[in-house]
Amino acid sequence: MTDEAVAICDLKRFAADYAYKNEKEIMIESITAKNGKKVAVIGAGASGLTCGYYLVRNGYEVDVFEQEHLAGGVLAFGIPEYRLPKEVLAHEISLIEKTGVRIHLNTKIGEDILFEKIKQEYDSVYIATGTQFPEKIRIEGEDLPGVIHGINFLKEVNSNLKYSMQGKVIVIGGGNTAIDSARTALRCGASEVVVLYRRTIDAMPAYEAEIHEAVLEGVKIIELASPKRFVADQQGRVASIECIRMQLGEFDKSGRRKAIPVENANFTVDADYVIVAVSQYSDLPFIKKEEIGVTRWGTFVVSDQTLMTTMEGVFAGGDVTRGPDTVIQAIADGKKAAESIDKYLGGKGVLNKGKSIEIPGFADEDEIVALHRFPLNILQVEHRTKSFDEVVLGYHKLNAMAEAMRCLHCDRR
Ligand SMILES: Cc1cc2nc3c(=O)[nH]c(=O)nc-3n(C[C@H](O)[C@H](O)[C@H](O)COP(=O)(O)OP(=O)(O)OC[C@H]3O[C@@H](n4cnc5c(N)ncnc54)[C@H](O)[C@@H]3O)c2cc1C
């Protein structure tokens, strides 16, 4: 047996041992007795659901109001099925409902129920309405048939996995919405998918692994290109894009190099569909802007410590305060808001996180730390574009535990 094989065996034995000892110990703890106070949550995305979950566990009655017919927010309508199977999401949400969180679907605050009424009837409110609106790029032809905005496209496909599109699809943008749109377009039947990005691939905000998988699946990327206008065919439908060739200039405030147009280097690409995926923004139509502090980006002004807005007893978090961010950040805000709301309503701000579990010391021997990661199980490329089957299938249980139990010393890198 090689040294590496011995080290892997040790690591797996360690994990198996731990699994055996703790299997029966990890249980959901009981919920604190009700305290007679009611909290309303607006938006059943990652942030709103997390806040509701912890508040119920601390004894509050929680009503979550959601405008869509499904809970989950971006997790349900944005992130595609092949990255997050909706069955898994539905199961997680059902666990949250089992704790006692009441989710009212098809209920838009501002239309079906006025915000003022919510404020009157509840002791506190958490607003977690995310960024629902696609940012436009404001160039000629953006309203032509065949030009779709990324978040709207993903929402349509997530609601109907049989959605079909033929021909060449051009996606504009370099974030997760753009890459998700490109990979989704392939699965909907597009014969060619090209992403246009104004900087270089290494500066794309999308996750590197997602870009890598997209390229493996056949998505092409044209770097240093920016759309100037969308051009229609004789029927008035988008047929091509006039693009500006870009080059890299000085570094900007974000630490990335600026993209600068190259003169007299415009070029044209054909397109049967264009998906514009540059960003999303939030709108807060249910509160009068003069009654609450709003930043110049249209997000709420909140206290860093408590997430309370400038309106007494009204808290906000997740994308609606940060702009497009990450799931874990939305969850963290939901948890922080639950602590603050508990304090605001007279509690100690200590969440009921259930019975603590023993976390064993990690394996820190040099040969274990130096081992490569176990490879993830991944769906073969040839099976991917014909279906929405999950692509990253995860680790074998023991491999996952073994990975979690070694310290990779990220702090030293
Ligand atoms: C395509 C895409 C891919 C992404 N991929 C990743 C990823 O891989 N990893 C990652 O960490 N992050 C990713 N993100 C970002 C991440 O999904 C978000 O940051 C996070 O989900 C935001 O959660 P939230 O609860 O703040 O808002 P949302 O999930 O947007 O939830 C807000 C909810 O509020 C509801 N709502 C809005 N207005 C009202 C109203 N007036 N009344 C009632 N309900 C209302 C909405 O319908 C929605 O359900 C991605 C985002 C997108 C768009």
Q: How far is the CA of 5 from the centre of ligand 1 (A)?
A: 43
Atom of ligand 1 nearest to the CA of 46: 25
Q: How far is the CA of 243 from the centre of ligand 1 (A)?
A: 31
Domain 38-132+282-344 architecture = 3-Layer(bba) Sandwich (3.50)
Among 322-326, 331-335, 353-357, the least confident range: 353-357
Mean pLDDT for the stretch of residues 335-362: 89
Residue 10 to residue 382: CA distance in whole angstroms: 36
Sheet with 124-127, strands from edge to edge, namely 102-104, 61-65, 38-42, 124-127, 314-316
Task: Pick the residue whose CA is nearest to atom 20 on ligand 1.
Answer: 327
Ligand 1 site residues (CB inside 6 A) read 42-48, 65-68, 73-75, 78-79, 108-110, 128-130, 132, 151, 154, 176-177, 180, 286, 318-319, 324-328, 330
Residue 338 to residue 360: CA distance in whole angstroms: 29
Mean pLDDT computed over every residue of the chain: 90
Q: How far is the CA of 318 from the centre of ligand 1 (A)?
A: 8
Atom of ligand 1 nearest to the CA of 107: 43
Mean pLDDT for the stretch of residues 364-379: 81
- % of the chain at pLDDT higher than 90: 71
2-57 pLDDT, tens digit per residue, is 555 555 656 666 565 555 555 444 334 556 778 889 999 999 999 999 999 999 99
80-109 pLDDT, tens digit per residue, is 999 999 999 999 999 999 999 999 999 999
> What pLDDT is recorded for position 26?
38
Atom of ligand 1 nearest to the CA of 285: 41
Q: How far is the CA of 67 from the centre of ligand 1 (A)?
A: 13
Same fold, 38-132+282-344 and 135-278: yes
**Which of 113, 176, 390 is the pocket-test mutation for ligand 1 (most atoms within 8 Å of CB)?**
176
385-412 pLDDT, tens digit per residue, is 889 999 999 888 888 888 887 776 766 5
Atom of ligand 1 nearest to the CA of 43: 34
**Cα 114–chain centre separation:** 28
- Of 368 and 38, more confident: 38
Q: How far is the CA of 330 from the centre of ligand 1 (A)?
A: 8
Q: How far is the CA of 130 from the centre of ligand 1 (A)?
A: 5
- The single-letter code of the amino acid at 116 is E
289 in Cβ contact with 273 (< 8 Å): no
Backbone angles phi, psi at 54, to 5 degrees: -70, -35
- % of the chain at pLDDT higher than 70: 91
User: Where do the domains of the chain lie?
Assistant: 3-25+360-412, 38-132+282-344, 135-278
- The closest of 282, 275, 295, 84 to 178, measured between CA atoms, is 275
- Which CATH class, in words, describes the domain spanning 135-278? alpha beta
122 in Cβ contact with 90 (< 8 Å): no
248 in Cβ contact with 258 (< 8 Å): yes
Mean pLDDT for the stretch of residues 333-346: 98
**Which of 109, 119, 129, 132 is the pocket-test mutation for ligand 1 (most atoms within 8 Å of CB)?**
129
* 3-class SS of residue 109: strand
